A and B are shown apart, each in its own frame.
Chain A
Amino acid sequence: MAVSERINRHLLGLEGVSADDIEVLLDTAEALTEVSQRDVKKLPTLRGKTVVNLFLENSTRTRTSFEIAAKRLSADAVNISASGSSFSKGETLEDTARNLAAMSPDAIVVRHPYAGAARFLAEVVSCSIVNAGDGAHEHPTQALLDILTIRQHKGRLDGLKVTIVGDLLHSRVARSNLYGLKTMGAQVCLAGPPTLLPAEFEQYGVELHYDLAEAVDGADVIMMLRVQRERQDGNYFPSLDEYARYFCLDEDIVGRAKPDVIILHPGPINRGVEISSTVADGRYSVIMSQVANGVALRMAVLYQLIVPGAEGIRGSTLAATGPATGAAATGVVVADATAAGAAATGAVVADAAAAGDGEKLGAATVAMGGRDGS
């Protein structure tokens, strides 16, 4: 079964995405890394398809990566950014989404400052939605490329000790990595000051540390998160200097990890704050292979979501699963989009998503009523 059916034609996050689906995406990305080494860096796969990059928060790197990925698959990539779009003129996200949908894109890649925005889009439009970062919620493609990078260097994911360091509270990259890495069998350890590492993280079955050296002890992989200067104003820590005193990854601390440890960073790096220059440029750093993997991974995601002739698949799925009643099927869409997608419900979801724009918001409450209702 295609990954696209199982993850409901959307990639909203890694929470609930199965190990099989993650593996298909990683394998596909791995197969596609070669394309970037060719003279002609282009495949005809998504010729005639349209991918809209809706970036309502600045991010040159991620947007460029998605744009290149779409273009290498021959899709037409259209970029819409916060400034200059009608969004900045006060148009609501719902109206923006409906306007875009009227142009029949095959996928919308969305980056948005608010959590849940990608899911909101998935509920109002019928094309595939790829979450390129929504507030502090998830950033699944970044996590997938991190996981791919780890797998390339370590040859496996199962049983690895991965330590994630920094502003866990506000990090969508950390959340997505947490879901993905746990699903793939890694042991995850988190480190940061208590203000940025609330105890509720224990719900994921991970270790929490306020001491960086302890957290790094015996690690196969260290993932450093970017620290935002604004956090200093929120009193999450007194100053960047003091933050660096306790959480800057330097040579000494790296020495506590396994000798073949690798270090990841989603960039852009604050040198001397979360990571020292010697470590950032040192032999453990795989930051550049992360960037290279970004394009291949995003190609894999677009390919797996926008299957050529996907209408044919949905038609046959519909026949196979029998008549799905509107309300029930849309209910599943909502219930299933972030929860674990069993293969069977995934099939229904593909239908529901095809059923059009109607009443999805209503369906959200239907699903909830089903759970809490008397």
Chain B
Amino acid sequence: MSSDKSSRCERGSERSARKTVISKGRVVDPASDFDEIADLLVDEDGLIEALLPGGSAEIGDAEFIDAAGQIVAPGFVDMHVHLREPGQEYKETIASGAKSAVSGGVTSLACMANTDPVNDSAAVTRYIIEKAQEAGLANVFPIGAVSVGLRGERMAEFGEMYEAGIVAVSDDGMPVADSALMRRALEYSRMFSLPIIAHEEDCGLCQGAVMNEGATSLRLGLKGMPSAGESVMVARDIELLRAAGGKLHIAHISCAEAVEMVRVAKRQGLAVTAEAAPHHFTLDERAVEGYNTNAKMKPPLRSPRDVEAVCEGLADGTIDAIATDHAPHHRDEKACEFDCAAFGIVGLETMLPLSLELLRKGVFPLSRMIDAMSSAPARILGLDRGSLAVGRPADIVVFDPDAEWTLIASELHSKSKNTPFDNWTMRGRVTRTLVGGRSVWEQQV
């Protein structure tokens, strides 16, 4: 393989006909409770063939990857991504989003339905899957809409979309405001075992609001969203779940009260799961100071107390998964008055170093981190991913947990550059990403 550039993406059409040996890395697979220095063998079909003691594998003519001093883990599964295609290709395309993903170690992603047209039919679902296959980098799993056109009125055809390949349903970007619709969706989704991913926002409480409600919003004169704007909906949906059954997944959980509700619901045995976004455990509302539009998102960056609660939730498993809520926006949608700016930031390429920061702070051990980034989301979506068990597809990330680098927004692989982490010194970097045994990303260090 030529490597004249510092990093490289390979087209998916090139099939690997060789075996691959990832040598002497610390292989961490929470799904099989494995954590040892080992050689990982991938067979010609792109499946995991064997895990052998470090340095013992016979290389032969296999593709050799030296992972000494690095961590080898199941490729990350980001269950909350906005790819913008079809409809808003100026922000992101499936191809650019997939490239951004693999450069951040994400081998599988689930993309939200709020495209234009909305993914509320099998036609759109199939379009996304085809486009993703053309791009050939990451595995893309579409999420269908709960309601037709995300309008919150009539239920979309879950069955048709399910057969076309969706892995969950969500109106993300919008809450399902109508409780009756939410109830029916939970009930109906049981036919297909589809989780409902809930964007929890009370429209009345959050109307016209642009950041967290609190001391900072008061000082800046910006309209705030109270935590209750999220937690009342979490409470409602947990109660609907209790009555209706199904699977409820709370998207981008951000406030302490909501985390506690999920904790209690889980204890009661309800089929509820949750995810948190790296920005919600890295930044708090003070990042908005100076009217930084790259600190504007939904749910908003909360108080330091909420950040702590999210960390605790990740540590004790109340929050199952880390998901980026990767939300690309064009520069013009951010270079404006704070009130007018679009909500959301890109996240695929910063997920690993920001999560490692929690590891370094002692919030969780490495195995839990990888569980939250790979195994848990795969489990929630019912994907045959997120594990390095023999016979599984070889979706693998190799990363150096201590490599320091500076994030330069303009150099992101995503089409959009809306990140609040521009110029941050990051620690931890993906050096190699394999999808189905193929090397799709390589970072020279």
Contacts and interface: CB of A to CB of B under 8 A. Distances in A.
A touching B, CB within 8 angstroms = yes
Nearest to A119: B291
A114 interface: yes
The interface residues of chain A, by DSSP majority, are classed as helix
B218 interface: yes
B158 interface: no
A129 to B, nearest CB: 14
A369 B421 contact: yes
Contacts of A338: 289-290
Interface stretch (B97-105, B130-138, B335-343, B431-439): B335-343
Interface stretch (B25-33, B219-227, B315-323): B219-227
Nearest to A168: B218
A137 interface: yes
Contacts of A372: 282-283, 287
Given A114-B339, A120-B291, A120-B337, A136 B283 contact: no
B220 A116 contact: yes
A9 interface: no
A202 to B, nearest CB: 9
Interface stretch (B175-183, B232-240, B261-269, B422-430): B422-430
A368 B420 contact: yes
Interface string A112-144: 101111011000000000000011111000000
A172 interface: yes
Contacts of A116: 220-222, 291, 337-338
Interface stretch (A17-25, A217-225, A238-246, A359-367): A359-367
A137 B218 contact: no
B292 interface: yes
B357 interface: yes
Contact of B336 (A93, A169, A334): A93
Contact of B292 (A15, A200, A203, A365): A365
Interface string A100-118: 0000000000001011110
A334 B422 CA distance: 15
B283 A119 contact: no
A200 B214 CA distance: 6
Contact of B332 (A92, A203, A365, A368): A92
B339 A119 contact: no
Contacts of A361: 335
A93 B425 contact: no
Contacts of A169: 218
Contact of A364 (B215, B221, B290): B290
Q: In which size bucket is the chain B interface?
A: 20 to 34
B221 A135 contact: yes
Contact of A201 (B218, B222, B223, B291): B218
Interface string B405-431: 000010000000000111111110000
A135 B292 contact: no
A334 B289 CA distance: 10
Given A92-B332, A94-B336, A367 B221 contact: no
B423 A136 contact: no
A373 B337 contact: no
A73 B287 CA distance: 40
A172 B221 CA distance: 7
Contacts of A282: none
A374 interface: yes
Interface in B209-264: 214-215, 218-223
A373 B424 contact: yes
Contacts of A315: none
Contact of A200 (B215, B294, B423): B215
A175 interface: yes
B337 to A, nearest CB: 4
Contacts of B337: 93, 112, 114, 116-117, 120
A362 B262 CA distance: 38
A125 B209 CA distance: 28
Nearest to A135: B221
A185 interface: no
Interface in B278-322: 282-283, 287, 289-292, 294-295
Given A114-B340, A200-B214, A362-B422, A136 B290 contact: no
A42 to B, nearest CB: 36
A40 to B, nearest CB: 40
A15 B216 CA distance: 13
A119 B425 contact: no
Nearest to A179: B219
Contacts of B340: 114
A203 B409 CA distance: 35
A259 interface: no
Q: Give the most central of B220, B287, B337: most A CB within 10 Å.
A: B337
A262 B149 CA distance: 59
A291 to B, nearest CB: 24
Given A93-B336, A135-B339, A338-B290, A374 B222 contact: no
B42 to A, nearest CB: 34
B203 to A, nearest CB: 14
Contact of A115 (B214, B222, B332, B423): B222
Given A114-B338, A120-B338, 17 more contacts: A92-B336, A94-B335, A114-B340, A116-B338, A169-B218, A200-B218, A335-B290, A362-B422, A364-B290, A365-B294, A365-B420, A365-B421, A368-B289, A368-B292, A368-B295, A368-B420, A372-B287
Report, nearest first, the 8 A-B pairs whose CB atoms are least far apart. Answer: A116-B291, A137-B221, A136-B221, A115-B221, A114-B337, A114-B339, A200-B218, A365-B422
13 contacts: A115-B221, A115-B222, A119-B291, A120-B337, A138-B221, A175-B221, A203-B215, A203-B218, A334-B290, A338-B289, A365-B420, A368-B289, A373-B425
